[in-house]
Amino acid sequence: MKEPIPSVVPEERWAELTHDDLTRYSRQLLLSELGIEGQQKLKGAKVLIVGTGGLGAPLALYLAAAGVGTLGLVDFDSLDVSNLHRQIIHGSRDVGRPKVASARDRIRALNPLVNVVTYNEPLNSENALDIISEYDVVADGTDNYPTRYLVNDACVLLGKPNVYGSVFQFEGQASVFWAKQGPCYRCLYREPPPPGLVPSCAEGGVLGILPGVIGTIQANEVIKLLVGGGEPLTGRLMLYDAWRMKFRELKLDKDPDCPICGKHPTITKLIDYEQFCRIKTKQDETPVESITATELKRRFDAGEPVQVVDLREPHERAYFKFPNAKVIPLGQVIRRMDELDPAIDTVFVCKIGQRSILAVRNLREAGFPGRMMNLLDGVQGWINEVDPSAKQI
């Protein structure tokens, strides 16, 4: 068993417990691993939660219930009704509100003793160091690669532990990335996958319970870091399959050649993470031509020649079959490009119009000579503009 690490909460911030504290946390105080001193550390602790969605919801609720003194919430999104099956910190009446506002209200209702600081703004290279420097631990509840790498790099530069979690469909993973004690996120994933190659939860779906499990595990790891006990997930990646109910664990080693936490780091300050993740279009890159759903429908009705390629996976097509489409999943599009007629305009379709842009660029690089277009807003655009009676996906 590893030696327990000391608490990340400075001793001068350990807070005296009031009668209300002793009553509220009485069942937790009975645990010898926590006790009075552990609760004092929790009360004096400051934790930043990046994202108040599927992972951030259980994170915030359980850390608030446990008595963490200050919770910072960073999110720049408003609540959509499609969020509610997994983002349990929000309610139906909060639809349309900033997520940090509804999350703050729910935390205060659960535990008014907790100080909640909200940041209704995107976390970026300009503000990340200033915000994160105020906290003892960062809990990463993000769902996109630019913010994930930003959080990692900022935590490495500031020496903060980063409690990581991610979810997709039925699978989730969690770890503690802390360069002082072990590997960082870049030791595991030095570079992100090409944009669009890995579908987001909005495209591929997620079991609502899954982020609850992973987010609760993250909250558990945060508490261990604050109290200074147990065996944190530092140097270990926990994998969870909700459908098969299996947990696995992989050992993670620190990469001596890691560009930010290795022996000779090449990243010494925060960078442009959208450019790093290839989200931004290069200035010299030819833009991808788009076609609206309304115009595509007009071409269908007029009998104009056009070939449609549906890039979605089988489980996505089960909800909505795009009319007159040839099915070629994104991962097969290059090796199957001979099936496309370069003399006919080709329209690529995915759920929201991201993978289709990647397909056009990949085929362009592979030498496909035909005219290629991205269906603007994907299948969802078709449903909104042409077929509103179709099942929303």
Print the SS3 string covering 144-212.
Answer: CHHHHHHHHHHHHHHCCCEEEEEEEECEEEEEEECCCCCCCHHHHCCCCCCCCCCCCHHHHCECCHHHH
**Catalytic site positions:** 201, 350
Helix, coil or strand: residue 289: coil
Q: Is 21 part of a structural domain of the chain?
A: yes
Provide the CATH number for the domain around residue 309: 3.40.250.10
Q: What integer pLDDT is reported at residue 285 of this predicted model? A: 59
Distance of alpha carbon 163 from alpha carbon 137, whole angstroms? 8
Q: Average pLDDT of 319-323?
A: 83
Q: Is 6 part of a structural domain of the chain?
A: no
Q: Quote the domain boundaries for residue 135.
A: 11-276
Q: What integer pLDDT is reported at residue 195 of this predicted model? A: 61
Residues 147 and 233 in one domain: yes
Residues 300 and 225 in one domain: no
Provide the CATH number for the domain around residue 193: 3.40.50.720
Residues 240 and 315 in one domain: no
Q: Is 150 part of a structural domain of the chain?
A: yes
Least confident of 92-101, 150-159, 277-286, 334-343: 277-286
Pick from 6, 2, 1: nearest CA to 226:
6
Q: Average pLDDT of 42-63?
A: 97
Q: Is 237 part of a structural domain of the chain?
A: yes
Q: Is 264 part of a structural domain of the chain?
A: yes
Residues 242 and 361 in one domain: no
Residues 243 and 309 in one domain: no
User: 28-66 as b/e, with b when 16 or more CB fall inside 10 Å?
Assistant: bbeeeebeeebbbbbbbbbbbbbbbbbbbbbbbbbbbbb
Write down which residue in 221, 251, 276 finishes a domain. 276
pLDDT in tens, 165-209: 999 889 999 999 999 999 999 999 888 876 655 666 665 678 999
Strand pairing partners for 247? 240
pLDDT in tens, 105-131: 999 999 999 999 999 999 999 999 999
**pTM for the whole structure:** 0.77
pLDDT in tens, 142-177: 988 899 999 999 999 999 999 999 998 899 999 999
Mean pLDDT of the chain: 90
Do the Cβ atoms of 340 and 368 come closer than 8 Å?
Answer: yes
pLDDT band of residue 352 (cuts 50, 70, 90) is confident
Question: Which two structure tokens, joined as six digits, stand for 371?
Answer: 């005219």
